[in-house]
Amino acid sequence: MLGLIAAYHAAAASDDPAQALAAAEAQYVAADIDYLREDLPALFAESRDGLDRVQRIVRDLKDFSRVGEQEWQFADLHRGLDSTINILRYEIKHKAEVIREYGELPEVWCVPSMINQVFLNLLANAAQAIEHQGTITVVTAVEGDKVLIRITDTGSGIPPDILNRIFAPFFTTKGAGKGTGLGLSLAQDIIRQHHGRLFATSVPGQGSTFTIELPLSELQPSAPQPESAPDTLKPADNGNNT
């Protein structure tokens, strides 16, 4: 194509138009203009799709890492779950259907980027536990003064004799180079820092459920409270808010 443009310019400046035209024609044939004419729209559409995909991945990554949100704050956990599921979509999509059964949740006092890390570790484990095709169900609910997030997979399940070891640092059943065995240990540390609990139940051969419990009463006195809205969530520092 560029050769054709060069040949056109050469022809325009040439004093032997016949020869220049022949050169341009050769370039025209080489550039396969008809083919390009047919294919260019498709090529541009594909490039646009590619750019859209890159843009989406960058947006998901930014949302997941919650750039600038490494601080304690009230956060929408569903937003964190959704962006984490998006981040893992290529790991999950060939193996599992993700079913979201979200309840009504208030915003939860947490460090969103850390909570998203927990979601990532649990969802990655769930996907890895499914060998062929299965489902990952994400349930959220408020129970009493707690928020529950439950991630259930239809994967391999966990034998009873190792169920109480899976949270230990470096415990892994994944081959060398595949797992560090730190995913659950880190997840549990983070949930403890949030004064919550993380635990697992499993039926070998049928699947596993990991439950995160986060206290709603952990609302911190230092949280910024909107002055004009006294009826919104308040810190539970006075014991009245249970």
Query: If you search the block for the tokens 């065995």, which residue do you land on?
Result: 181
Q: How is the chain split among helix, strand and coil, in percent rounded to 5?
A: 45, 20, 35
Site string for ligand ATP, 196-225 (x = CB under 6 A): ------------x-----------------
Does the footprint of ligand ATP cover residue 182 (CB under 6 A)? yes
Least separation in angstroms between CB 105 and ligand ATP: 23
Judged by CB, which is closer to ligand ATP: 142, or 182? 182
- According to CB under 6 A, which residues from 97 to 126 bind ligand ATP? 121, 125-126
Q: How far is CA 214 from the centre of its chain?
A: 21
- Distance of alpha carbon 52 from alpha carbon 43, whole angstroms: 14
Of the candidate residues 77, 147, 166, 191, the single one contacting ligand ATP (CB under 6 A):
166
Tokens of 28: 């025209």
Q: Which is nearer to ligand ATP, 114 or 219 (CB)?
A: 114
Task: Confirm if 70 and 111 have CB atoms less than 8 A apart.
Answer: yes
The interface region with ligand ATP, picked from 78-86, 91-99, 177-185, 231-239 by CB under 6 A, is 177-185
Task: Pull the structure tokens for residue 213.
Answer: 């419990």
Report, in Å, the least distance between residue 47 CB and Mg ion.
36
Query: Which residue in 168, 157, 156, 66 sits closest to 119, CA to CA?
Result: 66
Select from 99, 218, 231, 88 the least CA-distant residue to 154.
99
Q: Does 155 bind Mg ion (CB under 5 A)?
A: no
Tell me how far apart the alpha carbons of residues 240 and 227 are, in angstroms, rounded to a whole number: 18
| Class of residue 123 by CB neighbours under 10 A (exposed 0-12, middle 13-18, buried 19+) | buried
- In the bound state with Mg ion, the residue whose beta carbon lies nearer, of 122 and 148, is 122
Helix (H, G, I), strand (E, B) or coil at 41: helix
CB of 165 to ligand ATP, least distance (A): 8
Considering CB distances under 5 to 8 angstroms, the limit depending on partner class, which of Mg ion, ligand ATP, none binds residue 174? ligand ATP
Question: Which listed residue (84, 113, 116, 125) binds Mg ion by CB under 5 A?
Answer: 125
Counted residue by residue, the chain has a size of: 242
Q: Least distance to Mg ion from the beta carbon of 122, Å?
A: 8
184 binds ligand ATP (CB under 6 A): yes
Q: How many CB atoms lie within 10 A of CB 3?
A: 14
- In a 3-state reduction of DSSP, which class is residue 102? coil
Residue (20 or 166) nearer to ligand ATP, CB: 166
Please report, as ranges, the residues that interact with Mg ion according to CB under 5 A.
125, 183
Please report, as ranges, the residues that interact with ligand ATP according to CB under 6 A.
121, 125-126, 129, 153, 155-156, 158, 166, 171-174, 179-185, 208
